[in-house]
Structure 1
Amino acid sequence: MDYVKPQKISGTFTKQYSLHLLIILFGVFKFCIHLFTMEAYGLHADELYYIELSRSFEWGYLDISPFVTWMGRISSIFGNAVISWRMLPCLFSAFTVILTGQITRLLGGKQLAVSIACSALICSPAVLATSYLLQPAVFDQFFWTLLTYALLAYQKNRQIKYLYLASAAFSFGMLNKYTILIYLGSLGIAYLFFKPKHILIDLKKLFYPALLSIAILLPNIIWQWHHGFPILHYSSLVAKGALYVDLGDYLFQLFFFHGASVAVWTAGLIFLFFPKENIPFQRIWPISFLMVVLILLLLKGKLYYGLGAFPLFFASGGYCWAIMLKQLNKAARVVFFIVLYAFGALSLPLVIPLLPIEVSRMYIAKMVKMTSFTRPLLWEDGTSGTLPQFFADMTGWELMAKKVERVADRYADPKLLVLTDNYAIAGGLMFYGGQNMPRVISVHNSFLLSSPPYVTGKNIIYLSKDSPSKVQDLAREVKLAEVIKMENSQLSGIHIYMLIDVNARFQNKYNSDRETFYPQAKRLNAQPLKFEL
């Protein structure tokens, strides 16, 4: 009798160990997918921006939360190669897969359910495309998923440690991207709807975890307060820039930017709406998800901002599909996985830099011809290219820096400045500029804080898409050095001007640009910021 019980415990332990090992293996597999393509093409425009901001430690910025720059700071330890900057994002994306497996386990899923959930997440084109770049998106997905895991674990085990974990996930998620507030807010509203009588009891339990959140977030809140909460102004600028949202395209992306994995997450959404045990509390999750989708639509936000909400539905979808597939033979299960991974493999060249650029162009052209699906080639400005925009944004920066250096070499001016109205160009010039690169400044995004308040009388290399007619009166002498022409690049059409002795008209334009992006810049004009010649 004493011998039988240990056997059961041992068998349970072995199954749990095997399940955890399986989940970790999926995480390793996810990391390996990106390992051999990290160096391809080059650094993305946004990566260059975050890398340059990471050169100094800050608690806040005008347009972003600071976490991504902290990751850039840590990444700099590993060197200056592309792979150095992308190692941490790929690790975080692997951790997101592992958390998805753990959520599946919390829901009651076993090996088959975990395999389906993790495979669906790995094969999602939207997740693949955002899993390897040094951008807030990959960390955002991780923190949303960690928050989901912590809340589900607390719901199941009622251990206070999971509330502290949820608090930390939310706080660092806020330090990475403020959109996690939309997710937590939607969960809170849904919770009030289903459990209004328990709110006072639960608030008492949340007191100390809430104090932890305040402690973590306080330095960033102080920074935002000291600078007049610029993130609110930046958000309004972004909303104004998005004149309208195409509802049809928005819904199309919602259902199909996960590729064949749509069959898994939609099953998970329905499964939680109509849970097997008929527990109304479970409906908090799908209702909060629909709220997130609606809020992003109303705020004219991009749908990938809410990618962190999907791992839960991949997990519940894996559990749902496991129940259905167990009713079928093994051949049906094999076919299911083949379809999932086949679609993921076909989409790989569209979302990660797997092929050389020219080969990628040919592959995409054939895919478009066969499927008539052109959405990946649609750029943010409404135009279409022969490459996805995020591929094009990984090319041309080093060549541009060399062009600017050649212009600078013609002038023996130690106080020469390079000015651009594009944060990506500024980041590219700073990163790829050699010893002969003059000081690069920009009045857009967070580079504004280190821009000088006065430029009158300076000689400036000016990069802009403004035509010569708009620039000719901004200096004593204006020379057009070159117009950059690059296929499928945001650099195409950039004019490189040499402005000799810029005048008051240029200073007024410069001040206006600063104040448009950051109204408080008016008071910065009274004193130089980090600017010495």
Structure 2
Amino acid sequence: MSTYNTHFINITQLHLTTGIRTTEFESEDRQQLNLIILGFGLLKFLIHLFTLEGYGLHADELYYIELSRHLSWGYLDISPFVTWISWISEILFGNATFSFRVLPCLFSSATVIATGYITKLLGGKRLAVIIACSALICSPSFLATSYLLQPAVFDQFFWTLLILAVIAYQQHKKTSWLYLAALALGIGMLNKYSILLLAASILLAILIITPASIGRHVKKLSGPVLLCVFIILPNLIWQFFHGLPILHYTASVGKNNFEIDLWDYLLQLFFFHGASVAIWTAGLIYLWFERKDLEQLKYWTITFLIVTISLTFLKGKLYYGLGIFPLLFAAGGHCWAQMLTRKSISMNIFFIGMIYFFALLSLPIVIPIFSVETCRAYSRKMIALTDFSRPLRYEDGSQGGIPQFFADMTGWQELTSRVNSIANTQISENKKGIYILTNNYAIAGALKFYGKPGIPKVISPDNSFLLYSPDQLNMRTIIYLSKDSPQMVDRLAKNVKLLGKLSTENSHINGLYIYRLIIPSLAMKQKYVMDRIKFYPDYGKKINLFQNISSSGSSSFLTN
């Protein structure tokens, strides 16, 4: 063999060996990155795991749990997904507070994992993933909404999954990613219709940046669109045959919402993420100015602006748009990683450590790690040191001693115990003929959940409870729970007796009166009917197309 051939073979072997080693290194890097991402998902779950009992079930959780006893493809005011999760949770884990919060925590962990993979798709390596996932985990807004049985935590996941699927499709052009996007959008709508705002914002952003690109992908979209329609169709049918109540509810909420203070909204937008604001703002700027895949990345800056401006003018709450922030954390993580790569390891550790440090400071007012009394004292101390009291401002404009979502977890068992005691000791009639009436869905949910066997039937004209309450008040005796004064209630029955008043500081039930009404007056009956009509004008026109299933244990979700 000639010297030339030997030299050629050696070079070839060297290239092959180098290629194999490079592939091995890349494989090892991918595995390490996957482990890091999964590790952050586990960390997110563990942060909440040991505080799931907290102060008790939240007002909204009690409502969703009760609705899960009437499983349906739709409700007057919410999409059904959260009630399905409640139903599954109770079957798998029981009916303790902890039980209803395990699955929400798993979804919040999945959101962290999806954020890690978005970072990876944007070109981020180990440091970028660490920064992005840490920013999401340490954001007070996400900490506060990641463990409750509420649509918000699932909404954040489906928004993030939809964004992940769209970015992956932009890079790989595989139709399978469009089907994943369709799943995220379809199931996301079964959880909360607001995900349509994200989808519409993405499409509008693409039309603004590259309108011609839509036509190139129309053929690929037909299958995913059909899948999305198939998923949401049963809910749309339910809405149609019940008079589209979600439209009335949305309009009603828009009218009743307090005026949005633009400065206050922007203040929340920037500061309710704590130190993570440095990550998402960097991500927003990076998506606009990064030259690689310039047009594709600019979509997302415009998408964020459309979502934020829309929510501002629609008087939406801050958490309605939280699902867009994992993308910004991912982009921000990649941006900061590029800037910190040239810095020392100690500087990187300090930077990431500061994110966690500020998260620890906010922890007592976003996760129930202390007693209510300690939380109240901590909140006072924080206000004294920072002169920042916005986290303690309630929806009605008042100032509380603890955050409102904490207050909405307290007092429910006290309320139920008091009503049980009154029903057993102060009312001698046959309880089958007695009803408990309240105009508050949270109070109704609490009495349903915590009430002992034998408690009078609870009815309410509020929200979807009216579907499972009588059309009219034809009963003789009512235990009436209201914050209306005795002077206002005195005209509502032939005989009105005040049985008690609850005083629980910073609780949803503080100032609640307990009345006994005997022979409700015409005014009371009219008030009850008008409350029902006000919330659901078409309630008398319901079409009994579906049958209730939760009481019979049927596997079908279709219901009245």
Q: TM-score, normalised to structure 2's length?
A: 0.92
Residue in 2 aligned with 1:462? Answer: 480
CA offsets 1:302-359 (integer angstroms, 9 cap, x no match) = 0110000000000000000000001222221111012100001111001000111111
1:521 and 2:539 correspond? yes
Aligned 1:106-121 pairs, distance under 5 A: 106-121=121-136
1:212 aligns with 2:227: yes
Alpha-carbon distance in 1 for matches of 2:78, 2:106: 22
Tell me what 1:31 maps to. Answer: 45
Structure 2 Cα separation of the partners of residues 150 and 197 of structure 1: 21
One-letter identity of the residue aligned with 1:72:
S
Paired residue for 2:242? 227
Change (3 A) 1:243 1:359: closer
2-side partners of 1:197 and 1:296: how far apart? 28
Alignment partners' CA distance in 2, 1:111 and 1:260: 20
Partner SS, residue 472 of structure 1: helix
Structure 2 segments unaligned to the other structure (5+ residues): 1-12, 549-560
Aligned length: 528
Aligned 1:34-183 pairs, distance under 5 A: 34-77=48-91, 78-183=93-198
**Structure 2 match to 1:254:** 269
Q: Does 1:184 align with 2:199?
A: yes
In the TM superposition, residue 24 of structure 1 has moved relative to its aligned partner by 0.1
Instruction: Tell me how far 1:392 sits from its aligned partner.
Output: 0.9
RMSD: 1.4
Change (3 A) 1:176 1:248: same
Give structure 1 stretches of 5+ with no counterpart: none
Verify: 1:506 aligned to 2:546, yes or no: no
- Code of the aligned partner of 1:254: L
CA contact (8 A) 1:128 1:351 kept: yes
1:222-257 alpha-carbon deviations (Å, 9 max, x no partner): 000001110111111111111310111000011111
Superposition deviation, residue 466 in structure 1: 1.2
How far 1:192 sits from its partner (Å)? 1.1
Q: 1:349 to 1:13 in 2, by over 3 A?
A: same
Cα shift at 1:472: 1.3
Q: CA deviation at 1:467?
A: 1.3
Alignment of 1:487-502 (within 5 A): 487-502=505-520
After TM superposition, the score normalised by the length of structure 1 is 0.97
| CA shift for structure 1 position 457 | 4.0
Q: Which AA in structure 1 matches 2:17?
A: Y
Tell me how far apart the structure 1 counterparts of residues 275 and 258 of structure 2 sit (CA, whole Å): 31
The alpha-carbon deviation at position 127 of structure 1 amounts to 0.3
Q: Decide whether the 8 Å contact of 1:421 with 1:464 is kept in 2.
A: yes
Quote the Cα distance in structure 2 between the aligned partners of 1:422 and 1:40. 23
Distance (Å, rounded) in 2 between the aligned partners of 1:524 and 1:499:
30
Q: Is the aligned partner of 1:193 residue 2:211? A: no
What residue number does 2:19 align with? 5
Q: Which residue of 2 aligns with 1:444?
A: 462
Distance 1:339 1:284 in 2: 31
Conserved? CA contact 1:151–1:166, under 8 Å: yes
C-alpha separation in 2, matches of 1:278 and 1:162: 19
Tell me which of 20, 27, 32 is aligned to 1:18.
32
Counterpart amino acid of residue 499 in structure 1: L
Task: Give identity over the alignment, percent.
Answer: 54
TM-fit CA distance, 1:525: 12
Q: Could you tell me how far apart the structure 1 residues matched to 2:542 and 2:197 are?
A: 32
1:243-282 alignment, distance < 5 Å:
243-277=258-292, 279-282=294-297
Aligned counterparts, 1:320-359, within 5 A:
320-359=335-374
8 Å Cα contact 1:456-1:503 kept in structure 2: no
Once residues 335 and 3 of structure 1 are traced to their aligned partners in structure 2, the CA distance between those partners, rounded to angstroms, is 39
Shift of 1:436: 2.7
- Kindly state the Cα deviation for residue 524 of structure 1 after the two structures are TM-superposed: 5.8
